[in-house]
Structure 1
Amino acid sequence: MTRMIEEFSAPVPAGAALPSLAGLSREKLNLALGAIGVPERERRMRVNQLWHWIYLRGATTFEEMTNVSKHLRARLAESYGLARPEIVVEQVSQDGTRKWLLRLPAETPGERPHEVEAVYIPERDRGTLCVSSQVGCTLNCSFCHTGTQRLVRNLTAAEIIGQVLVARDRLGDYPGQERAVGPGLPTEGDRLVTNIVFMGMGEPLYAYDSVAEAIEILADGDGLGLGKRRITVSTSGVVPEIERLGRDVGPMLAISLHAVRDDLRDVLVPINKKYPIAQLMEACRTYPPASNAKRITFEYVMLKGVNDSPADARALVKLLEGVPAKINLIPFNPWPGTKYECSDWETIERFSDIVFRAGYASPVRTPRGRDILAACGQLKSETEKLSARERLALRAMAAAAE
C-alpha cells in the first residue's frame, strides 16, 4: 500500500517557517532559549524540560509542556516550532516494512526543498530504523541504487534525528500513545523503534560531525535513550574517520565490504581506489570499541557470478583473521536498470556454510520491503522526478486503494 500524505505543491502551513527545536542538541537548545531572553541561570532547567517533552514524550506543540510556564510557552511559540521533516509519501510493504519519503526544509529562501528516505524494519522482538545521512550519495557503488543519485549535501544532526521522530510519531512509539498495528510489528517490549542503523542514503562518515552529534542525542538516557550498542554506523570504508568514530563516539561499526580483492572492490565500491582493502582491514583491527562483545559487522552483497564463489568465501575468512567479526550476507536486491543478479540460493547457502565452519556468524539477511524498493541498496528518492500530473495520478491511485 502506498499513501500520498501531501502534494509537492501543497501550501506551506502557517508558522511552518519558524525554526524547529525538534532534533536539536542540549547545547543548541540552550542557545535557542538564550536568543529569546531566558536568563542563563534557569536555562539548564528549561533545557531539561524541553528535552523531556521533545524526546521522551514526543511533544509536537509547546502547549503540551504542562510543567513549563504559560509565559515561556507563549514566548517559545512566537519564535520556534516543533516541526519534523514533512512526510511526502508513506509506503507499507506486505511484510510490514515502512518507508517514508521525507521533505527537508529549504536551507535558504527560494531553494527547492530536498528529500531523503527512511525505512523501518520490524521484527518480532525489535524494530530497526534505517536513517539517511546525506541527500544523495557520492560513492557510486555500482550495485547500489542510491549511488545513482547525485550528492546534494550532508544532513544536519537535527535532520537525522527528525527521521527518528517521524518514525516514532507514525508508529505511536511514545508513552501513552496508541501503538500502530499492522503486519510484522514487534509484539515484545515496550518500544517499536529499538535500533538505529546509519545505512540509508549517503556515506555517514562523510557527514561525520552531524552523525556524531545525532548519536549523542539518540543515546541520551533522559530522552530517546538508545544505547550505543543499539546504534550502528555503516561505512563503505572512509578509513581516516573510522578510528575517530570509535574513539570519540563509540557506536557499533559495519563495513560495506562486498569483495575480497582490490580489483573487484574497485568496481563495486570505488572508494576502495582511495582506501584499499589492506588499509580498511587495519582500521577495523584497531577500531577502539571492537571486542568479542562488540563485533564489527561486514556486509557482503551476494552477486551472481561476481563475488559468490567458494574461493571468495575462503578468501573472506582469511581476510577477517584477527578481527572480532560477523558477516552479514545480503541477497542482492534488484532495482530498475541494474546489471547485477542475485546469487542462487544454493550458492548463498554454500558460501554461508564455508564462513560458518570457519567460526564466524554468517546470517543471510532476509530481504525486506522489496515491493516498495525499501530493501538494502534500493533507497532513492524516485518521487522527486515525478511531474505534477504524475504526482496527482499517484495520489488518486493511493486514495482509491484506501
Structure 2
Amino acid sequence: MEMKLSRGPWMRRQFTTFFSPFLTIHPSSFSSIPSTSIHSPPLTHSLSPHSFSNARSLSISAPATLQSSLSPTPSEGKEDSGIPMKGSKVLLKGMRYHELEKWVQSHGYRPAQALMLWKRLYGNNIWAQYNEELEGLNKDFKGMLAERAEFKALDLKDMLTASDGTKKILFTLEDGLVIETVIIPCRRGRTTVCVSSQVGCAMNCQFCYTGRMGLKRNLSAAEIVEQAVFARRLLSHEVGTITNVVFMGMGEPLHNIENVIKAADILVDEHGLHFSPRKVTISTSGLVPQMKRFLKESNCALAVSLNATTDEVRNWVMPINRKYNLGLLLNTLREELCLKHNYKVLFEYVMLAGVNDSIEDAKRLIDLVQGIPCKINLISFNPHCGSQFRPTSEEKMIQFRNILAEAGCVVFLRPSRGDDQMAACGQLGKPGEIQAPLLKVPAKFQTALEGASV
C-alpha cells in the first residue's frame, strides 16, 4: 500500500521542527504535496526526510554533511568540560579513557586509580555496574565515585531466546524508550553482539521493520557501549567469549556519528573490552560525508548496505540513494580505500524476491564492485508485519552466489538467525500507531509484490 502525506499545518510543523538543523525549506513547496487520510495526534521525530520523497514539488536544499539533529540526548547532559552527565552525576561509560583519567585527576586522585577503575568497568571479568563491585580500589576514591559517578546507562527489561540460541535483550532507557540488542552465538567459537545506535531510524528503508518507527532519538556513547558490556556480563558464562560487535541493530550508525565513533573507541581500548578493531563493524545505508569521515578517523570495519544494483530500485527501497546515489557511493569507496592498507568493506545485500535477485542483478553487482576491496554478504529477507517483500528462495540465492563467486568475488550466504523472536536482520523495534510511510512501488515490480504483505 502507499501512504500519502498531509499538506496541513501539522505536517509542516513536524517537517520544519525535525529537519530545521540541516534543511532549508521553502514554504511554497508544500502546495503540491498530496492529501492524506491520516488524522492522528502529532508525534515528534517520527518521520524521516525520505518519507517525503513522493511530494512532487518539495524544494529542499541541504548542506554537504547531514548533521544529527538530536544532541545531546535526553538521558545525557554535558558539563561545561564536555563530560557526560546523568542527572547530577558523571556517566562513567560515556568517557574515553583519557577523559576518565582527566576527570579522576581533577578530583585529586592518581592516574593509576583511573586505570584500575577502567579495568573494573570493562575488563578483568568484572564489568562493574555498582560501587560495591570495585574491589581493590582506594576507599576514599570509591566514596567519591559513590557520590559523583553513575555506572549504569541502561536497565534490563527482558531477554528472549530464539530456537537457534540467538538472544534478544530489551533495554529501557532513562526516558522510558526501549532499544533492542541481539547476541548471536556461533559454533566456530565466535559470538557476536549486535548493538543499536538509535531509537528507531530516519532512513525509511522499505524492507526494514525499524524504519517503520521513524527516528525517536540518538543513543549516547554510554548507552551504546553498555549494550556490549551487558552482553558480556550476562551471557559470557553461557555463550562463551563475545568476540565481535556489529552496529547493525536499531538505527543508522553514521547518522549518530559522534557517539558511534566514541563508543567504538571505548570498545577497542586495549585496557578494557579490547575488541579487535577489525571485529567491530559499523554499518551504513550510505551517508557519504559521514562515511568518508569514519574511514579517516576509525580503524574499525565498515559495512555498506547496498541491496540494489540500479538507482531506480535503490531509490525506492533505500530512499537515502536519492541524495547519495550508487555512483557517488561506490566511487567514494574506491577513492577512500586506496588510502587504507589491507582494508576491505563488507557489502550487505538483502535479497528481495522479484526485485533485486535476478541473474542480471548478479552481473551488474559484479561490475559495480570492481576496483573496491570487498566481501559480499547475501542476506535472506526476514518478513515482518506489513512488509511488502518476500524472501528469495534458497536455490536462487545459491545461484546468485555462484555467479558472483565465479567472477572472483568473495561472497557469503548469511542465514537468518533469531527470526522466530523477531531478532533477525531488519526485524528489530516496535513501530507505533503512526509509522513512516511506504513509498510507491514502481509499476514493473507490483506483480512481484502481490500477496507479500503479512
Fold conserved between structures, TM > 0.5: yes
Deviation string 1:160-201 (CA, Å, 9 cap, x unpaired) is 001111111211x3xxxxx12xxxx45xxxx2x100111111
Aligned: 1:92 with 2:181: no
In structure 2, the partner of 1:210 is: 259
The percentage of counterpart residues that share the same residue type is 39
CA shift in 2, pair 1:161/1:72, >3 Å: same
In the alignment, which of 140, 157, 161 is matched to residue 225 of structure 2? Answer: 161
Aligned: 1:304 with 2:353: yes
Q: Which runs of 5+ in 1 are unaligned?
A: 1-14, 107-112, 174-178, 386-402
CA shift in 2, pair 1:292/1:307, >3 Å: farther
Asked if 2 retains the 8 angstrom alpha-carbon contact of 1:104 and 1:114, the reply is: yes
What is the one-letter code of the residue matched to 2:185? P
In the alignment, which of 241, 244, 250 is matched to residue 195 of structure 1? Answer: 244
Deviation string 1:281-336 (CA, Å, 9 cap, x unpaired) is 01211234887843211111111101100000000001110011111000110001
1:128-139 to 2 correspondence within 5 Å?
A: 128-139=192-203
In the alignment, which of 313, 319, 324 is matched to residue 264 of structure 1? Answer: 313
In structure 2, the partner of 1:381 is: 430
Asked if 2 retains the 8 angstrom alpha-carbon contact of 1:130 and 1:199, the reply is: yes
In structure 2, the partner of 1:55 is: 122
- Per-residue deviation, 1:349: 1.1
In structure 1, the partner of 2:293 is: 244
- Secondary structure of the residue aligned to 2:307 is coil
CA shift in 2, pair 1:240/1:20, >3 Å: closer
CA shift in 2, pair 1:251/1:79, >3 Å: same
Q: Which runs of 5+ in 2 are unaligned?
A: 1-85, 434-454
1:60-75 to 2 correspondence within 5 Å?
A: 60-75=129-144
- Per-residue deviation, 1:68: 1.5
Deviation string 1:60-110 (CA, Å, 9 cap, x unpaired) is 22233233211221221122232241111210111110111111113xxxx
Aligned: 1:294 with 2:343: yes
Aligned: 1:325 with 2:394: no
In the alignment, which of 409, 421, 424 is matched to residue 360 of structure 1? Answer: 409
Asked if 1 retains the 8 angstrom alpha-carbon contact of 2:337 and 2:372, the reply is: no
Q: TM-score, normalised by structure 1?
A: 0.81
In the alignment, which of 117, 130, 148 is matched to residue 180 of structure 2? Answer: 117
Aligned: 1:141 with 2:205: yes
- Secondary structure of the residue aligned to 1:271 is helix
Asked if 1 retains the 8 angstrom alpha-carbon contact of 2:197 and 2:252, the reply is: yes
Which has the higher mean CA deviation after the structures are superposed, 259-268 or 246-255?
A: 246-255
Q: TM-score, normalised by structure 2?
A: 0.72
CA shift in 2, pair 1:274/1:115, >3 Å: same
Deviation string 1:240-286 (CA, Å, 9 cap, x unpaired) is 11121111112111110000100100001100000000000012112
Asked if 1 retains the 8 angstrom alpha-carbon contact of 2:307 and 2:350, the reply is: yes
| Residues in 1 aligned to 2:411 and 2:88: alpha-carbon distance in whole angstroms | 48
CA shift in 2, pair 1:283/1:43, >3 Å: farther
| Residues in 1 aligned to 2:152 and 2:254: alpha-carbon distance in whole angstroms | 27
What is the one-letter code of the residue matched to 1:122? P
- Secondary structure of the residue aligned to 1:285 is helix
- Per-residue deviation, 1:28: 3.9
In structure 1, the partner of 2:445 is: none
In structure 2, the partner of 1:283 is: 332
Deviation string 1:31-75 (CA, Å, 9 cap, x unpaired) is 6436xx622xx4422221110110003122223323321122122
Number of aligned residues: 345
| Residues in 1 aligned to 2:206 and 2:339: alpha-carbon distance in whole angstroms | 29
| Residues in 2 aligned to 1:273 and 1:53: alpha-carbon distance in whole angstroms | 46
| Residues in 2 aligned to 1:365 and 1:199: alpha-carbon distance in whole angstroms | 14
Aligned: 1:44 with 2:111: yes
- Secondary structure of the residue aligned to 1:323 is coil
1:97-108 to 2 correspondence within 5 Å?
A: 97-106=166-175
In structure 1, the partner of 2:448 is: none
Quote the RMSD (CA, aligned, Å). Answer: 2.1
| Residues in 2 aligned to 1:355 and 1:32: alpha-carbon distance in whole angstroms | 52
Which has the higher mean CA deviation after the structures are superposed, 17-26 or 236-245?
A: 17-26
Aligned: 1:230 with 2:279: yes
